[in-house]
Chain A
Amino acid sequence: MLTLIRPTMFPVLRNEDLKEMLESNKESLKLEAMKRVVGLIAKGKNASELFPAVVKNVASKNIELKKLVYVYLVRYAEEQQDLALLSISTFQRALKDPNQFIRASALRVLSSIRVPIIVPIMMLAIKEAAADLSPYVRKTSAHAIQKLFSLDPDQKEQLIEVIEKLLKDKSTLVAGSVVMAFEEVCPDRIDLIHKNYRKLCNLLVDVEEWGQVVIISMLTRYARTQFTSPWKEGAVFDENNEKTFYDSDSEEKKGQIEAKPYIMDPDHRLLLRNTKPLLQSRNTAVVMSVAQLYWHLAPKHEVSIVTKSLVRLLRSHREVQYIVLQNIATMSIQRKGMFEPFMKSFYVRSTDATHIKTLKLEILTNLANEANISTILREFQTYVKSQDKAFAAATIQAIGRCATNISEVTDTCLNGLVLLLSNRDETVVAESVVVIKKLLQTQPTQHSEIIKHMAKLFDNITVPMARASILWLMGEYCERVPKIAPDVLRKMAKTFTIEEDIVKLQTVNLAAKLYLTNSKQTKLLTQYILNLGKYDQNYDIRDRTRFIRQLIVPSEKNGALNKYARRILLAPKPAPVLESAFKDRDRYQLGTLSHSLNIKATGYQELSDWPAVAPDQSVRNVEVIE
């Protein structure tokens, strides 16, 4: 079990040697041994056997030695609970030390030892530390709250009392940590925040960066439960007071729904005002959290102040770009105007990573409108030629989306895509076919030329999805290409057995549709293909074949459906909607892990809808104590 491989720089030492060193009288030997033990832990090797020898050094005077022992204790105490208890008295003593740093570090280690039997001791220590004169010790106690809670959730009620007390703390050092504890232990106890709301808003700028992120995200949730929506039409803001008065048409309706115009709660404004400077933070997480706060809380016309800062983050590390682009993609669906002036910042460079490229593409597509589409399409032309074929394929899909959204350019796009059909790269051709198919469905009346063109290319296309798409088009619009469609079917009859499953399914489809419209020419071919399908290895294909045969070929016992076959198979079908993959992402709060993954992550706190009527504002009033 314990075949330990040591770091190459150290001579090989066995556990016995280390034990001996740890039990020697020399500080330097002990320290050397501890360093090696930590080296083992870092490599993920098991060093638990040394526990008794290590724990004896917990009271050492040497600070570095002591710290390394702490590292060891926190790592192994959970596995060796009985032995870990030996160290407790040392920490209890240190908790009373006159030096605040020693008190804090004792509490830190004590609370990190996950030994259930010491829960009462931890509880006592946390309570005492929460009342400590040093803000640093109080901060440590806020961290300890979460540790105790995860060790023993039954302590919740008592811990909430401590949180309530620490929330009142006026030190910027404590604020971030206690809000973090609040979020972990009792995120639903919004009532604890009321009295501290204004204080937190005012402290925010001076809190350390990580605390800022946590506080901003908590306050976003808070605000959505306490203030009314600033998004109602004709709302009045303290910054422009005109709008409603000109709106005479809807006056009557509004008079019934809300008697008085919207006026923003001063506390709501306070939050917006105090978070704005943080857009200039060097910490990208802080900038993002302010941006999401504005997105979820600010009046619509004020949201755009976050744009510049978000675009600035695109200069940062690749991973930062990835998250920021995801969020911009969601925002840009609803609010094109916000990012349109910065369109060029989303231009793709050949050195970008593929996931960055596709996100930029997504955003450019969202931003496309009548005015800028020609610029965007010109840019897309460069991308289509990219060496990164996955990206080129994504561009083709994007062109398809632009073509359906902006009717002025549909024909241009379609022609461009047809040109791509003669591209040398197979993925490009395949993707073009699929997109053209979707586009033709949206305007089926014209374009039989394009269908003919695709039929000609059919022999050279090998990507199954593309072949299947062409076959589907042939069948769907067979009446517009009456001479070509049967010929394609003839070719398919020859190659049927070696085709992929999706191609086989579409061949059966094509055969059925042709049989219904042109049975004279295709009757035999269809029967042949149905026979092949009947004995196919894949049960889906056998199943489909059986179904189609019953549906189209008249026989004595076949049912009532036969006469509707034509109406079933050749019914006009709704065109597919080409839309953004980010369309529904806004159900998650921006900037969250859930938003990034598009699934509800564990512990995700739903953002509530604005209340129709604002709860009592006076709960936030604080009596000023002189």
Chain B
Amino acid sequence: MIHSLFLINHTGDIFLEKHWKSVISRSVCDYFFEAKEKAVDPENVPPVLQTPHHYLITIYRGKLFFLSVIQTEVPPLFVIEFLHRVADTFQDYFGECSEVIIKDNVVTVYELLEEMLDNGFPLATESNVLKEMIRPPTILRSVVNTLTGSSNVGDTLPTGQLSNIPWRRAGVKYTNNEAYFDVIEEIDAILDKSGTTVFAEIQGVIEACVRLTGMPDLTLSFMNPRLLDDVSFHPCVRFKRWESERVLSFIPPDGNFTLMTYHVSSQNLVAIPVYVKQNISFFETGNCGRLDITIGPKQTMGKTVEGLMVTVHMPKAVLSTNLTASQGNYTYDLATKVLVWDVGKLNPQKLPNLRGSLSMQAGAPKPEENPSLNIDLKIQQLAISGLKVSRLDMYGEKYKPFKGVKYVTKAGKFQVRT
């Protein structure tokens, strides 16, 4: 299926190649560079390309292109999903997925790629299984390795792959047994000029961090499972139990994983935590414009809005900005024309405001459209949909684990049109 993989940085250098079948010359990437040239913005490069003898499927992540070479028909999502899984694995192993990190750990990267695919078909993609075979590098271990000459490759052979729960490694032991769940909800919204909601919905995800000894069997139940409209699960969740009883029953992987993602039914009205009063205008003459943005709390359920941030992609003609922020800092990147206003905490008594003038390129026509505002925010201790975990039970093991649930609401793709 997947014939070869090339890793390319955003300037167009191929810095790693791996072939699972016969070697394919890296000149095949030229077709990709051509498309990249044409697309200008790396995000606009088409993910699927055709060349005379091969097909190229590419993802762009963390300023890197993962380019795979395909020779025959294959579902493109299969390849895309796999490439993202590779990037996730690098992230998981090295803490980040960047050119420097990959170059520094090239041997581990190669060992991982070798295990993840056999003849181009995915073999081991579960992080629990991989970590048994290839240990993630730590500073301590690399020191020990250089002193003693031992290696990163596990001498125990992976057993997870054989069991019918391939996601969990065997023989897990902890002195402190703990299970934490983060319920994270994101509000996706488009508001129009007048502040009316054009579109809004809530997407949620439950991230888990489970460090439990042995083979625990967990059951997580909700106070109000009916809120959940559409769900997707980690393979460990027993689908039948969910269908019949609306509880999540599972033997968890060891460590961090995404337990489920969900969508809150669209019948429920979505609470919009902030309102934005804005006035951006460009004048016909004088090559200048005005900007005035105020943000205030709307439906925050009595909680504090934090991490408030406004990002504006200005029209190309805007040369510089001369603004004053009543709270927080703002920056304007001259090259990318992006204005970022980092507000911080929202104080309902004293609403944050950003105002001032924009100076435009002389002679440029007045921009047709005002730029839209992208809002970022965070509210701790609140799931905006009202979802609540009622209890977590553990079966199969004797000890008493430490349990915790945390809620947080964030802005997802939250956009205000102006």
Contact = CB atoms under 8 A, between A and B. Distances in A.
A213 B114 contact: no
A351 B313 contact: yes
Contacts of A592: 73, 75-76
A548 B203 CA distance: 64
Contact of A75 (B19, B41, B122): B19
B41 A353 contact: yes
Nearest to B54: A602
A591 B239 contact: no
B125 A593 contact: no
Interface string A120-156: 0000000000000011100010010011001000000
A162 B338 CA distance: 60
A282 B151 contact: no
A350 B371 contact: yes
Given A112-B119, A136-B162, A351-B374, A320 B199 contact: no
Contacts of B61: 317
Contacts of B201: 345
A603 B41 CA distance: 33
Contacts of B203: 315
B155 A39 contact: no
Contacts of B233: 280-282
A344 interface: yes
A75 B111 CA distance: 13
Contacts of A425: 368
Interface in A382-429: 382, 385-387, 423-425
Interface residues of B, number: 94
B15 A596 contact: no
A38 B368 contact: no
A276 to B, nearest CB: 10
A558 B335 CA distance: 65
Contacts of B119: 111-112, 143, 146-147
B48 A605 contact: no
Interface in B152-199: 152-155, 157-158, 161-162, 164, 166, 188, 190, 198-199
B356 interface: no
Contacts of A143: 118-119, 121, 123
B365 interface: yes
B43 interface: yes
B110 interface: yes
A217 B152 contact: no
Nearest to B81: A285
Contacts of A282: 232-235, 258, 261
Given A308-B230, A597-B48, A209 B235 contact: yes
A284 B232 CA distance: 10
B17 A319 contact: no
Contact of B111 (A67, A324, A601): A67
A424 B282 CA distance: 15
Nearest to B415: A349
Contacts of A134: 162
Contacts of A308: 229-230, 263
Nearest to B240: A277
B141 interface: no
Nearest to A292: B75
A172 interface: yes
Contacts of B76: 323, 591-593, 596
A208 interface: yes
Nearest to B23: A75
A593 B48 contact: yes
B34 interface: no
Contacts of B72: 601-603
Nearest to A40: B106
A478 B313 CA distance: 46
A173 to B, nearest CB: 7
Contacts of A71: 110-111, 114
Contacts of A180: 1, 121
Interface stretch (A27-35, A257-265, A366-374, A479-487): A27-35
B41 A280 contact: no
A625 interface: no
A323 B57 CA distance: 11
Interface string B261-272: 101000000000
A187 B411 CA distance: 48
Contacts of B153: 63-64, 67
B157 A99 contact: yes
B218 interface: no
B60 interface: yes
B315 interface: yes
Contact of A317 (B1, B84, B366): B84
Contacts of B43: 318, 353
B199 A387 contact: no
Contacts, number: 230
Contacts of B74: 593
B69 interface: no
B232 A280 contact: yes
Contact of A319 (B80, B118, B190, B367): B80
A603 B323 CA distance: 59
B61 to A, nearest CB: 8
Interface in A413-456: 423-425
Contact of A385 (B22, B84, B111, B369): B369
A99 B159 CA distance: 12
A309 B41 CA distance: 30
B109 interface: yes
A288 interface: yes
B119 to A, nearest CB: 5
Interface in A72-87: 75, 78
Contacts of B131: none
Contact of B75 (A70, A385, A593, A602): A593
B73 A605 contact: yes
Nearest to A600: B73
Nearest to A319: B47
A147 B164 CA distance: 27
B264 to A, nearest CB: 12
Given A44-B14, A78-B22, A593-B55, A350 B313 contact: yes
A99 B188 CA distance: 52
A527 interface: no
Q: Which of B17, B81, B107 has the most CB of A within 10 A?
A: B81
B8 to A, nearest CB: 12
B251 to A, nearest CB: 14
Interface in A598-616: 599, 601-605
A345 B229 CA distance: 15
A285 B258 contact: no
Interface string A179-210: 01000000000000000000000000110111
A57 interface: no
27 contacts: A7-B103, A42-B109, A63-B155, A75-B23, A143-B119, A172-B164, A177-B121, A180-B1, A213-B75, A281-B233, A283-B81, A285-B78, A288-B77, A311-B230, A312-B263, A315-B261, A317-B59, A320-B77, A320-B81, A320-B84, A324-B77, A345-B199, A349-B413, A351-B313, A351-B413, A387-B313, A596-B76
Interface of B: 1, 14-19, 21-23, 26, 41, 43-44, 46-48, 50, 55, 58-61, 70-78, 80-82, 84, 103-104, 106-107, 109-111, 114, 118-119, 121-123, 125, 149, 151-155, 157-158, 161-162, 164, 166, 188, 190, 198-199, 201, 203, 229-235, 239, 243, 258, 261, 263, 313, 315-316, 365-369, 371-372, 374, 413, 415, 417
Interface of A: 7, 9, 27-28, 31, 35, 38-39, 41-44, 62-65, 67-68, 70-71, 75, 78, 99, 101, 108, 111-112, 114, 134-136, 140, 143, 146-147, 150, 172-173, 177, 180, 205-206, 208-210, 213, 217, 277, 280-285, 287-289, 308-309, 311-312, 315, 317-320, 322-324, 344-345, 347, 349-351, 353-355, 379, 382, 385-387, 423-425, 591-594, 596-597, 599, 601-605
Given A71-B114, A308-B263, A351-B413, 4 more contacts: A7-B106, A282-B261, A308-B230, A317-B84
